[in-house]
Amino acid sequence: MQAEELAFARRDLAEWSQPIIVDFLRDIYSGRLGHDHLSLRVLCLSHGRAWRLMLQGDLEKLASARREVTGIARMAGLKTGDIVDIDAAMLDELLDVVVTRFQRAPGRATIYGKVLLGIAGRLSNVAPTSA
């Protein structure tokens, strides 16, 4: 697999998955915080931005985005473990979407799967810290 092909897959996945990510995060955070929580919108958008950066492989900006998510989540009453659990669920959701969406295009499913597997391997490195 060429680096060029992987870079394209990262950009493409980050682009088409953004609405899926934000909807998923909204649903999961609504379940934990309630539909009317004041921090819900900003938390979803911030965490969605972090996922976009993760998919794009922009690790410099990602560190700052993760600190932002952690701060907002803590102000909303969530714990670091909640964010870790949400990230794991988000990764599962994206894998399910890729498998379903590209079941007739195994080559594409493979490359997107490799992007997501790379993220799975890095999630522990970008996990929010307990401060």
Residue 19 has pLDDT above 60, yes or no: yes
- Using one digit for the tens of pLDDT, what is the confidence trace for 55-85? 998 989 999 999 999 999 999 999 989 999 9
What average pLDDT does the segment 28-48 reach?
Answer: 94
Instruction: Please name which of 90, 84, 115, 70 lies closest in space to residue 28, comparing C-alpha atoms.
Output: 90
Predicted local confidence at residue 131, as pLDDT: 43
pTM of the model: 0.87
**Three-state DSSP state, 124:** helix
CA angle 115, 121, 125 (to 5 degrees): 120
Instruction: Please name which of 85, 119, 106, 107 lies closest in space to residue 17, comparing C-alpha atoms.
Output: 119
| CA atoms of 52 and 45, how far apart (whole Å) | 10
| CA atoms of 131 and 22, how far apart (whole Å) | 26
Q: How many CA atoms lie within 13 A of 126 on its CB side?
A: 26
Return the DSSP state at 127: S
